[in-house]
Amino acid sequence: MADFKDLVQIRYSCRNYGSIAIDDALIEQLLETAHFAPSATNAQPWRVFVVKSTDELKKVRQAYNREWFATAPVVLMLCAETGKAWTRADGKNHADIDLAILADHITLAAADLGLATCWVCNFDAAMLSQNFNLSPDCKPVVLLPLGVPATDDIPPKKRKDLSEFVEWL
């Protein structure tokens, strides 16, 4: 197991997956770790769909049709149950924030297990809802392709200098 700093440095957005199948037990281990993600008032307003079958993967790929995306043997479809999420006094529903935290936990847990992911938000959410007959309260927020990277090369990360976004008050 990597220490946390190493883990966040090795995690990257993979856009080329090998053809190795992912064992259900490994996915279960990943999700067991991720389910400890915090959420506002511990509402845990999420649903995770593990998409593995050829027919179901086609439905996901209709909503995000990219060649690299089709190389992933598994896609995790993270959905927010907005009616279960905490809502701040000004009306801000925190389901999307809670899902972002969950997605981050999943990507880090995957990296720790030697798997790769890529956070995808640029998809047709309405098409996914229709393709999977999701209830109106279950909104697709993030797609996480999951697999073994096709190469061991981890691309360099371009990061802003801390001085560009940190202010000490």
Radius of gyration, CA atoms only, the chain: 17
Tens of pLDDT, residues 133-161? 999 999 999 999 999 999 887 778 888 99
Tens of pLDDT, residues 47-70? 999 999 999 999 999 999 999 999
* Strands annotated E in the chain: 46-51, 74-81, 116-117, 138-147
Query: Angle CA(26)–CA(29)–CA(33) in degrees, nearest 5?
Result: 145
Domain ranges of the chain: 4-150
60/86 Cα distance (integer angstroms): 28
What is the residue type of 23? D
The Cβ of residue 120 has, within 10 Å, a number of other Cβ atoms equal to 20
Choose the CATH number for 4-150 among 3.40.50.970, 3.90.950.20, 3.40.109.10, 3.40.50.300: 3.40.109.10
Q: What is the pLDDT, as a whole number, of residue 155?
A: 79
Q: What is the DSSP string of 50-87?
A: EE-SHHHHHHHHHHS--TTGGG-SEEEEEEEEGGGS-B
Q: What is the pLDDT, as a whole number, of residue 154?
A: 79
Mean pLDDT of 25-38: 94
pLDDT at 1 over 80: no
Report strand pairing: 46-51 vs 116-117: unpaired
Question: How much is the mean pLDDT over the chain?
Answer: 94
